[in-house]
Each structure stands twice: as structure tokens, then as C-alpha cells.
Structure 1
Amino acid sequence: MGTAASDYILTYAGNVALLTESLEVIQRTSAVILGAICPEEAAQPEQFAPAS
């Protein structure tokens, strides 16, 4: 089994808050991109609620 996930976490020095913030930025950015290329699907409610 590969170590890609654990390697990715290690790039944030195990800082959960920093990793979470980065993933939230990635999610928002991808939503903007997908909304631009698939506007009819972007108008639908989010399938996944953000983690609290």
C-alpha cells in the first residue's frame, strides 16, 4: 500500500488546522472552477456539508 496520504499530511508537519484550512481552500477553488464549466450543476445544493 502506498504512503501518499501520510506523506501529504507530513508536508503540513502534522498541523491539523493548517491541513484543514488548505483543504477548505482547495474545495472552494474547485467549486468555483466546476461552477464555471458546469453552471447548471453548480446551482444545485452542495452534496457534502463542510466539516465542523
Structure 2
Amino acid sequence: MRSCGCNKPHIPSCQKSMEEMMEIAAFFYTKAVASKRGFWLRKNAK
């Protein structure tokens, strides 16, 4: 994971940006998993 670049871990702005990055990563991860699952379902349906 990319660090926010500040050496003080508890600055609110850094914490907020880290949380936003985690949310975006989780969004893309769930999207990828869902698409992969749909791919396998379509493949097995044949």
C-alpha cells in the first residue's frame, strides 16, 4: 500500500485519505470478485 508520506500517523487528513483508499480498493475488489464469480457461473451453465 502506498504511504501518505507524513511521519505522523494520526493526522486526520492522512487518516481520511487512507480510509478513502481502502474504500476504493474494497469497491474494486468486490467488483472484480463479483465479475469473476459471474464468469464462472456462465462458464458452468453451458
With normalisation by structure 2, the TM-score equals 0.56
Q: How many residues align?
A: 31
RMSD: 1.8
With normalisation by structure 1, the TM-score equals 0.51
Unpaired runs of at least 5, structure 1: 1-7, 40-52
Higher helix share: 2
String of CA shifts for 1:8-35, please: whole Å, max 9, x gaps: 57x1133100000000000000010000
Unpaired runs of at least 5, structure 2: 39-46
Question: Greater RCO between the two (CA within 8 Å, min separation 6)?
Answer: 2
Structure having the higher Rg: 2
Identity of aligned residues (%): 6
